[in-house]
Amino acid sequence: MFTRPLAALALTVAATLGLSGTAKADNHYAVVGLRNDTNVPLNFTYRWGDHGEWKERTIPAGGRMWFSWTYDYPNENRSPWLYIKVDEDLSDNDSFATYRLRAAAAVGQSYDQGKKHAFRYEPRDRGFIHLVSLDD
């Protein structure tokens, strides 16, 4: 007979204290999502931070991938920049452009959880590519 009033009281107290039935998950990663909007596979190098080791990758035409940095503690929400270096004129002349990318704080590691960027052709000259942010 006291069940309903006690349940109502418990809900009122929870609402007053800002409690909810769902807990917010902690961010454990900084994530960048990278997409290739060109019709050619692109070779590039990347590294986290100013002193990290450069690593090589290839992203297929129309493909996408993600990169992640693991935080030292939950919800740190700070990471080094992700640097991407790519041959911007798609030739043998080795004209490289280097981009500094911001990451998104994320609970997990996936393209969808990352701050999105895309390789695209220059609007006035398809002989050149550039990397653009998609989330700004």
Query: Which is more confident, 52 or 17?
Result: 52
DSSP 10-57: HHHHHHHHT--SSPPPPP-EEEEEEEE-SSS-EEEEEEESSSSPPEEE
Task: List 43's β-bridge partners, or say none.
Answer: 58
Q: Do the bridges between strand 82-87 and strand 42-48 make them parallel or antiparallel, or are there none, so unpaired?
A: antiparallel
Q: Quick check: pTM over 0.85?
A: no
CATH class of this structure's domain 21-133: mainly beta
Q: Are 93 and 12 in contact (CB under 8 A)?
A: no
Span 44-70, mean pLDDT? Answer: 96
Reply yes or no on whether the pLDDT at 101 is more than 70.
Answer: yes
pLDDT digits (tens, 9 = 90+) for 65-81: 999 999 999 999 999 99
pLDDT band at 95 (very low <50, low <70, confident <90, very high): confident
Token digits for 83?
Answer: 């640097």
What is the percent of the chain with per-residue pLDDT over 70, rounded to a whole number? 81
Question: What DSSP character marks residue 97?
Answer: E
| Sequence ranges of the domains in the chain | 21-133
Tokens of 44: 């590039």
